[in-house]
Structure 1
Amino acid sequence: MPSVKLWYSPGACSLAPHMLLNEIGQDFEAIRVPIREGAHLTEAFTRLNPKKRLPVLALDDEVITELPAITLAISQLAPQHHLMGGTPLAQARVLEWLNWLSGTVHGQAYGSLWRPQRFTDDETLYPAITAKGRQTVADCYAMIDAKLTSPHAVGDGLTAADAFLYVLYRWGVGIGLDMRGTYANFTRFAENLAHRPSLQRAIATEGLAPLEPYPI
């Protein structure tokens, strides 16, 4: 078994792999890199990950970035847990979720809402970009809510898609969406997942409350 390290920022998308490592009972070192304090922009962290993004996973000397790749690497540490799905079709569905959540919901929607400077240098356009980002979040959450008709996003067991969806639920609370009133399925899903010991341990380590807003 390799030596495992996870670099995380409290409440960020790194909470998902943090939960998954707990879920499989993996011993690992959790290294706090608070985004709000700019810790991901330091020279030391940039040497680790020139993308200046979290999470980062290290298996011995191999450094892995990007959430779908990180969750795949974690699933391979304990394949009996089927974190990427237990059948070929389920694996495709988990990847389908992860790619859309990371690319569209996280990168495009929340990227526009929180980081409009990534899309233009013209500051006069920032309000329009952030407004579009908020609308895209709402549209994506409506789609998520329609899909979450059972306790898990894929199949009958926990997968990496569930962990990422829980993070995004917290973010919805954080930006002031009426999650409970507008997204009832998504809310039931998140509340059910919040009882899972692996998530509770990750939240305790990160100094968070189970469903408190993401500290933007």
Structure 2
Amino acid sequence: MKLFYSPGACSLAVHIALHESGKSFEAVRVNLKDGEQFSPEFLKVNPKSKVPALARDDGSILTECPAILFWVARTSPEAKLLPDDADGEARALEWMNFISGSIHNGGFTRILRAERFVGAPEHAPAASEKAKADTIKYLTIAEEMLAGRDTALPSGHSVVDDYLFVIARWVPRTGKELSDFPALKRLHDRVAAREATKRALAAEGLA
């Protein structure tokens, strides 16, 4: 099995979850800054030109961070990376959809790639500033959803926490500090201390 990742991207959540699961895999780096995601070789893996992508042992490719996290958790029941009950599973999916659709793509992507969302290049700086305000709003909602816990779900650690850990690392891009979101910071610090996280960070060359 191969995980196609870029250091510090949302693929880091999958990298952590794979170590949590105990699955055997090879990590394959994709250099987004150099445009490697648009290379003919990578487009054969993922025509969406994005990471993560997971090449599974049966030869199939799974893409999209929430889907891969869900699959890793569900195929590794002994790791207890998702709740077993339907409501707990639904809450996990609720979180991951919010992280992917709003915080990440509706927020951080618009901060860093504002030119993609405007008609004229000169509008990009203003669009980026608007995106920062929107992202702070989404992070505030996430803080409220955590309800003072250091886990996304009341049942305990899950793949959702691995995803939120990555988001927490990006908070300074909004102009805020992680300490401005106390529950998210506690979650970040707890996940950072886990052995699986340390292994994934070391493999990606991240502090």
Smaller-chain TM-score bracket: over 0.9
- The Cα of 1:11 is off from its aligned counterpart by 0.5
Distance 2:177 2:49 in 1: 32
Say yes or no: does 1:157 pair with 2:161: no
Paired residue type of 1:6: L
Q: Can you list the C-alpha shifts for 1:59-116, whole angstroms capped at 9, x where unaligned?
A: 1211011111111221132123332322111100000000010001111111211112
Partner of 1:39: 36
* Aligned CA distance change for structure 1 residues 174 and 123 (closer, same or farther; 3 Å): closer
Partner of 2:98: 100
- Unmatched tracts of structure 1, length 5 or more: 210-216
Paired residue type of 1:150: R
Indicate if the aligned counterparts of 1:10 and 1:32 stay in contact, CA closer than 8 A: yes
Identify which of 142, 145, 161 aligns with 1:144: 142
Partner of 1:20: 17
Partner of 1:206: 204
Partner of 2:51: 54
- The Cα of 1:37 is off from its aligned counterpart by 2.3
Partner SS state of residue 162, structure 1? helix
Distance 1:22 1:63 in 2: 19
Indicate if the aligned counterparts of 1:145 and 1:186 stay in contact, CA closer than 8 A: yes
Aligned residues: 205
Distance 1:31 1:208 in 2: 15
Greater shift, 90-99 or 141-150, is seen at 141-150
Q: 4+ residue stretches of structure 1 with deviation over 4 A? A: none
> RMSD of the alignment, in Å?
1.4
